[in-house]
Structure 1
Amino acid sequence: LEHQTVEPFSWVTFARADHPACADWGIDAWHRYPHVMVNVTRSMQNPFPVTPQGDGGARRVSAMIGDSAGVASLLGKSDFLATFPAILLAWDMEVLGLRALRPPVDLAPVLVRFFWSSRLANDAGGIWIRSIVIEIYRHLQAEAEAKLSGDNLLQPRAIK
C-alpha cells in the first residue's frame, strides 16, 4: 500500500449553545456533564480513551452510538457533550444551535492518511482522482478549522 499523510485534525468539544457548561467551561464542566461517544464496533475503539492518560481528564460517557450521523441533533436537544474533529460538526453548528468548546484536556491530534494500492500508484487516473480527493479534504479541513477559531471557539477558564 502507498499512502499520503495530510494535516492532522484537532479535537473540539461540542454542546448546544445554551448548555450550562458554556457558562463556566473548564475541567469541572468536562467532568460534570455526560458525554456521548461514537463507537462503530467493539474492535474499533474511539480514538481517545474515556480517561486520557495522566491529565485528570476522565469524562463520564453516558451514551455510545454506532455512527456520528445523529450526534449533532442529539447535542442540540440534550445536556450531552461530544468531542470530535472540527470537520465532523462545523457545518451543523448554526443549523442546530451548537457551540464549539476547546477541550480542557490535552488530546493528541490524529493523523489523517489516504491509502491506495501500490500497483496503481503511477496510474494517471488514480493520480488524478487522488489529487482531487485530497485537495477537497484539505479545503474542507481548513474551512472547518477556520469556522471554529477565534471567538467561535470557547476557551476553558484557567485552572486555579
Structure 2
Amino acid sequence: MNLRAIDLNLLVILDALLDEAHVSRAAQRLGLTQPAVSAALQRCRALFDDPLLERGRAVMRRTPRGEGLRAPLKTLLGEVEALIDPPEVPLDQIRQSIRIMIADQIAALLLPQLLDRLQATAPGIDLVVRSWRGAEQAYTDLLSGDIHLAMSLFDRDAEGLDRQHILDEHYVVVMRRGHPAAAAFDLDAWLAFPHVVVSGSGATRTPLDARLGALGYRRRVGIVVPSFMMVPDILLATDFIAMMPAHAILEGLHDRIVVHAPPLPVDGFPLHLAWASRSRGDRGLMHVTDELADLVAARIAPRPTTAR
C-alpha cells in the first residue's frame, strides 16, 4: 500500500464515525458538513474494503471490521498527536469531557469533592460518570475509547492500559442490627439466610460460590442487584445478608448494621485507576486521575472487619 496516498484527516473522520456510529453526530463533533463526512465514509469503505458502518432500523451499526478498527485507530492517532507534541495547555484553559467508570458508592463519596477541586484548578473539565460493569467491560471500554478512566479491580496487566494501585480492599459480611444471625455468627448462621449479590452483569454466582461448593456448602442468592446503593435498604428491611467490600458501606450506616468478618477466609483485592496507555500524555485526564487518587487516600480510611 502506498502510504503517501492516505490522507491522515480521513482517519480522524473515521475515528469519529466509528465512535458515534452516526454521520450527522460525527459531522457536528468534527465541525464538518454532513455531505463531507458521508463522502469521507465512502472513501474509508474503499480504503478498507468493508462497509464499516451498516444501516439498521433508525441506527447505524459497526461491522466486525469497523469494531475491530476502533482501538488500533485511536492508538495510531494518539501516537501521531504525541509525535507532533503540541504546546501544553494550562489546566485552567483546558476544555475537555472525561468519561469515568466507577462504582456508585465510591462515586457518591468522592465526586462532590472532585468537582470542587476541578472548579478550582481545571473548571473547563466536564465529567460523564458511567456505572461500574466489571473489570472486563472496563478493559474493553478503555481500549475502545468509550471511557477514559476506570476505578476497578484490574488483576492483570493488559496491553494498551496503564494502571495505578490506590487501595487494598477487603470483604465484610453485613446485616441489620438485631438480625437473628448477628449475635452468634458463624458459617452455619451465614448460610441459613438468603444473600444479596451485587453484579453489574446480573451474574448469580461469584467465585465464593465455587469455593463453598468445594467445601460441600451452598448458599442461596436471594437477590442480585446492579448497585451497592440498593443494598442498605434491602438489608434494613429483611433478614438478607450481604458480603461486600468494606469501603462500599455508606458512611453513617454503622449504627443500624452489624459488620462481621467472613466466617471463612476470603481474599481481598487491590483497587486501581486505569486508563489507555495512549492517553498518558493527556494532561486533563492525568489531572483528574491524580485528584481522584489523592481523594481516595484522604477520604477512604480502613473500615471495620469485626462485629460492632
Which interval holds the TM-score relative to the shorter structure?
0.7 to 0.9
Q: CA deviation at 1:46?
A: 6.2
Q: What 5-or-longer segments of structure 1 have no aligned partner?
A: 156-160
Q: CA deviation at 1:16?
A: 0.2
Q: Tell me the TM-score normalized by structure 1.
A: 0.78
The 2-side partners of 1:100 and 1:48 are apart by 21
Where does residue 139 of structure 1 map in the other structure? 298
Q: 1:87 to 1:136 in 2, by over 3 A?
A: same
What is the identity, as a one-letter code, of the residue corresponding to 1:154?
A
Where does residue 92 of structure 2 map in the other structure? none
The 2-side partners of 1:118 and 1:77 are apart by 45
Q: 1:131 to 1:55 in 2, by over 3 A?
A: farther
- Secondary structure (helix, strand or coil) at the match of 1:58 reads coil
Q: CA deviation at 1:45?
A: 6.9
- Matching of residue 98 in structure 1 with residue 257 in structure 2: yes
Superposition pairs of residues 59-98 of structure 1, within 5 angstroms: 59-94=219-254, 97-98=256-257
Q: 1:66 to 1:26 in 2, by over 3 A?
A: same
RMSD (CA atoms): 2.4
Q: CA deviation at 1:27?
A: 0.8
- Secondary structure (helix, strand or coil) at the match of 2:191 reads helix
Q: CA deviation at 1:55?
A: 4.6
Where does residue 124 of structure 1 map in the other structure? 283
Q: 1:10 to 1:120 in 2, by over 3 A?
A: same
- Secondary structure (helix, strand or coil) at the match of 1:29 reads helix
**Bigger share in strand:** 1
Where does residue 162 of structure 2 map in the other structure? 2
* Identity across matched positions, percent: 23
Q: CA deviation at 1:60?
A: 2.0
What is the identity, as a one-letter code, of the residue corresponding to 2:169?
F
Q: Which structure's relative contact order is higher, taking Cα pairs within 8 Å and 6+ residues apart?
A: 1
Where does residue 13 of structure 1 map in the other structure? 173
Q: CA deviation at 1:103?
A: 0.7
Where does residue 158 of structure 1 map in the other structure? none
| CA displacement 1:78-111 (0-9 Å, x = unmatched) | 100001001111415246x111111101211122
Q: Tell me the TM-score normalized by structure 2.
A: 0.43
- Matching of residue 108 in structure 1 with residue 267 in structure 2: yes
Where does residue 52 of structure 1 map in the other structure? 211
The 2-side partners of 1:45 and 1:63 are apart by 8
Pair member with larger Rg: 2
Where does residue 64 of structure 2 map in the other structure? none
- Secondary structure (helix, strand or coil) at the match of 1:59 reads coil
* Total equivalences in the alignment: 147
What is the identity, as a one-letter code, of the residue corresponding to 1:25?
F
**Bigger share in helix:** 2
- Secondary structure (helix, strand or coil) at the match of 1:6 reads strand
What is the identity, as a one-letter code, of the residue corresponding to 1:12?
V
